[in-house]
Structures are given as structure tokens and as C-alpha cells.
Structure 1
Amino acid sequence: MAENHIYWISTTLLSLLYLSSAVTYVVKTEWVRTTIVGFGYPAYLVQVLITVKVLAVAVVLSRLSMALSDLAYAGMLFHLVLSAMAHLGVRKPLGALPALLGLIFLVTSFATQNAARDIPSPYALSQKY
């Protein structure tokens, strides 16, 4: 029962982090574009990230396809690691804090998903009994 609560809390926090980030990208597009270009990434990446962030949350929460859900978790992992590294690379360690929190939420959500969901992921750490 505790794993069920841990899953939903961590998944909710991860989803809120991603959705608030997507909203920030929409509301403050020029600021985000300037920041991303400052990291050395192309400006068009802003629109791609908005779309991918919203879709990743939708796929993880709906879990219509286990393969897509696991792929979304993997995409989030890569995104959060690269985001943290980009902030650290330009010597802005406080900017990496949301990504590091996101990594904690992501690992917790992924590891406990089988305790809370009917269809188990073959890659998650815990198994539903």
C-alpha cells in the first residue's frame, strides 16, 4: 500500500514539473529560447520540448501502451540528465536543481510503478504480488 502512495506522489510531482516547464516554455518563449541557445542548443528545440514534455506526461499517466510508457520514462531520464549537465556546464548549478529533483521523482515513480498499476512493466524494480 505504501508503494502505491509513493508511486502516485512521485508521478504527480514529476508530471507537475514537466507540465509547469512546458507552460513556462509557452509563456516565456523568448527567455527560454535565449537560455537554450546559450547552452549551445538550436532555438527550434523549444517547440520540440514543449510537445515532447506534454506527450511524455500523457503517455505515463494514461499508460495505454506499456512500451510507450517505458519509452517515455527513458526519454525523461535522458532529458533530465542532459538538462542537469547543461546547467552545470555553464556553471549555473542552481539551474540544475529542478532536473535533479525530477530525476529523484522519475526513479521513484519508475521503481514503484508495478505496485500501483495493473499491467506490470518488465523493467521496473518492484513486482506486484
Structure 2
Amino acid sequence: MPEYYVYWISTALLSALYLASAAIYVTKRDWVRQVLTELGYKASYLIPFMIVVKVLGPVAILSRVSVPLSDLAYAGIFFHLLLSGLAHIGVRKPAGALPAAIGLALLVTSFMTQNDARIVPSPYVQAAMR
């Protein structure tokens, strides 16, 4: 039973992190463009794409319309957080990697406990636990 609560708390916090990030991308566009440019990315085409991804990822996980789609969202968020953290470390700004590290911890917790809270299990959680 505690896994049920651990899943929902970690998933809610991960979703809040992503939705807050999407809101920042919308409201503070110039600041986001500057930060992404410092990291070496072309922000003009990246910002609208990331807003969509940062909204649809949590929606796919929370709604769980399809287990494969939910697992794909977990994978996409995993790679985004990993690459985001590494980008900040790569430009010697490790403090900027802190949200990514927190997000990774929440993501792993959510992913590993999802079968305890959801009716239809994910086959990838069972494979990861072996």
C-alpha cells in the first residue's frame, strides 16, 4: 500500500516539475532563449517543441491511455532529464543540473512503483526488477 502513495506523490511532483517548466518556457521566453543559447542550442526552433513535449509527457503518464505510450513518455522524459543535466554540467554550471537530478529521482521512483498503483501493469517494470 505505501508503494501506491509513493507512485502518486512522485508522479504528481514529476508532472508539476514538467508543467512548471513548460509555463516558464511560455512566460519567460527571452530568459529561456538566453539560457539555451548559453548551453549551445538554437533556441528559436527548440522552445515551441519543448513546450509541447513538457506538457504531453506528463499527460501521457497521468492519463495512461496506453501502457506503451506511457512507457514511451517515461523513456522520453528520462533522456530529456539526462541530457539536460549533462548539458549544464558540460558548460560547468552544475547548479543548473539540480532540477534534472531531482526529476530523474522522481522519474525512477514513479516508473518503478507504477505497477503497484495501476491496474494494467507495464512489462518493462517487471523486466527492470530482475
TM norm structure 1: 0.95
Instruction: Please name the residue that 1:42 is paired with.
Output: 42
In the alignment, structure 1 residue 29 sits paired with structure 2 residue 44: no
Q: Which amino acid in structure 1 is aligned with residue 24 of structure 2?
A: T
User: What's the CA shift for 1:125?
Assistant: 4.3
Instruction: Please name the residue that 2:15 is paired with.
Output: 15
User: What's the CA shift for 1:16?
Assistant: 0.4
Measured in 2, the distance between the counterparts of 1:23 and 1:107 equals 23
Q: Which amino acid in structure 1 is aligned with residue 76 of structure 2?
A: G
- Greater helix share, structure number: 2
Instruction: Please name the residue that 1:57 is paired with.
Output: 58
> Deviation digits for residues 104-123 of structure 1, max 9, x if unmatched?
00000000000000110000
List runs of 5+ in structure 2 lacking aligned partners: none
Q: Which amino acid in structure 1 is aligned with residue 19 of structure 2?
A: L
Matched positions, count: 126
Structure 1 pair 125–108 and aligned structure 2 pair: CA distance change class (3 A): farther
Is contact 1:3–1:116 with CA below 8 Å preserved after alignment?
yes
> Deviation digits for residues 56-83 of structure 1, max 9, x if unmatched?
0110000001111000000000000000
SS in 2 for 1:119: coil
> Deviation digits for residues 7-38 of structure 1, max 9, x if unmatched?
00100110000000000000100110111121
RMSD: 1.0
Measured in 1, the distance between the counterparts of 2:126 and 2:51 equals 29
TM norm structure 2: 0.94
Measured in 1, the distance between the counterparts of 2:68 and 2:4 equals 21
Measured in 2, the distance between the counterparts of 1:98 and 1:125 equals 28
Is contact 1:87–1:96 with CA below 8 Å preserved after alignment?
yes
